Amino acid sequence: EAGVVQSPRYKIIEKKQPVAFWCNPISGHNTLYWYRQNLGQGPELLIRYENEEAVDDSQLPKDRFSAERLKGVDSTLKIQPAELGDSAVYLCASSPQTLFEQFFGPGTRLTVL
Amino acid sequence: SQQGEEDPQALSIQEGENATMNCSYKTSINNLQWYRQNSGRGLVHLILIRSNEREKHSGRLRVTLDTSKKSSSLLITASRAADTASYFCATGIYGGSQGNLIFGKGTKLSVKP
């Protein structure tokens, strides 16, 4: 069984530039999560999808972050424009159902210069 | 916001010794999960314990949950160098963030050969 796929693995951009991350969850998993993980910290939820519906985006900085999950499968997280403080690892995870175990992708390490 | 707090923040032991990590949380939970993260990688689910369970085993892992003290512990027996990683507890809660896992800051475990 293929795991959660994320791309790119690494991204370096100048501040004020846009950036996008892509996630393909495990087949059949209805719930998809985007997390941000700062160095030495645990993951912090940005947004949770149930199928194609964003059921919790309360922690997503909506002035510069946006996300979509077309057809309830793949998802894209975008930052526009990026700021220095956005440097972090962005993790995608999927789960068969809410509160079940989550399966994480390898993450995208973003560096904003 | 941080729900779980792991203790200690860092732990260094010799191969063959047991490692114990603790997690305390603040609000009522549905379940508590432990994850491992190797350096530069995504998180891997280790074990899930429900709020009505007190102890659970999986291989060399033993997890306990004390809901009256709002605390959990993860014991790794006969540790190996490959167990070197960061370990996170995550609480699954209902309420304002239904269906979300809230992660602690993690315990960094180093197992020396």
Block residue for tokens 């700062």 = A38
Give CA–CA dist A44/B104, Å, rounded: 9
pLDDT tens digits, residue range A81-107?
999 999 999 999 999 877 789 999 999
Question: What pLDDT shows up at residue B27?
Answer: 86
Rounded to 5, what percent of chain A is helix, strand, coil? 5, 50, 45
Q: Shortest CB distance from A102 goes to which of B2, B101, B102?
A: B101
Residue type, A52: E
Burial class from Cβ neighbours inside 10 Å (0-12, 13-18, 19+) for residue A76 reads middle
> Which chain A residues contact residue B105 at CB under 8 A?
40-42
Average pLDDT value for residue range B40-64: 95
CA distance B48 to chain A (A): 7
Strands A44-50 and A31-37, bridge-based pairing = antiparallel
Cβ of B106 within 8 Å of Cβ of A43? The answer is no
Question: What band does A47 get if pLDDT is binned at 50, 70 and 90?
Answer: very high
Q: Is the peptide bond before A8 cis (omega within 30 degrees of 0)?
A: yes
Give CA–CA dist A86/A82, Å, rounded: 6
Q: Shortest CB distance from B99 goes to which of A4, A48, A109?
A: A48
Question: What pLDDT shows up at residue B57?
Answer: 96
Give CA–CA dist A108/A95, Å, rounded: 19
Any CB–CB contact under 8 A between B43 and chain A?
yes
Is the pLDDT at B2 greater than 80, yes or no?
no
Any CB–CB contact under 8 A between A68 and chain B?
no
Q: Shortest CB distance from B41 goes to which of A56, A103, A106?
A: A106
Average pLDDT value for residue range A40-61: 92
- Contact (CB, 8 A) for B86 and B76: no
pLDDT tens digits, residue range B60-77?
999 999 999 999 999 999
Is the pLDDT at B47 greater than 70, yes or no?
yes
Residue B96: DSSP 8-state:
T
Cα angle, residue A33 at apex, residues B67 and A74 outer, rounded to 5° = 155
